[in-house]
Amino acid sequence: DKCSSQKVALPRMCFVDPVRQCAECSLISQKEVEFYDKQLKVLTAGGTFLVRVDSSEKSETMVCRLSNNHRYLFLDGESHFEVELSRISSMQVLTEGSTPGGEALCGQTPKYKNTYECRPQF
């Protein structure tokens, strides 16, 4: 029997009761549950960022958060932008050398598959 005696709750897969899994799958499922219970809550709650749109010199304070369906990045401030995550092709992380031997994150620039009116940099 490859399944362990340990049962894991899999509500996102529509299992009502916990199910038995092999040790390897059980570990993966536990990490997934931790991600959905902890990290995803932080992403959907959002955080405050200074956002600069396109090549504008002016930055705007915005709350950046993941939508409840996990498909969009919402940027809310004086302006409102909805960025479809599937259209982001890459994310450039901007750093500065603020400490000896180390770099600190100072911004991010998403790159899109299609041209958009806004290109937020935060």
pLDDT number for residue 116: 46
pTM: 0.61
Residues 10-26, buried b or exposed e (16+ Cβ, 10 A)?
A: beeeeeeeeeebeeeeb
Render pLDDT for 13-32 as a digit per residue (tens, 0 to 9). 788 888 888 888 888 888 88
**1 residue type, one letter:** D
All structural domains of the chain with their residue ranges:
7-44, 47-121
Single out the residue of 89, 84, 83, 82 nearest to residue 111, CA to CA.
Answer: 89
Token pair of 36 as six digits: 């959905």
CATH class of the domain at 47-121 = mainly beta
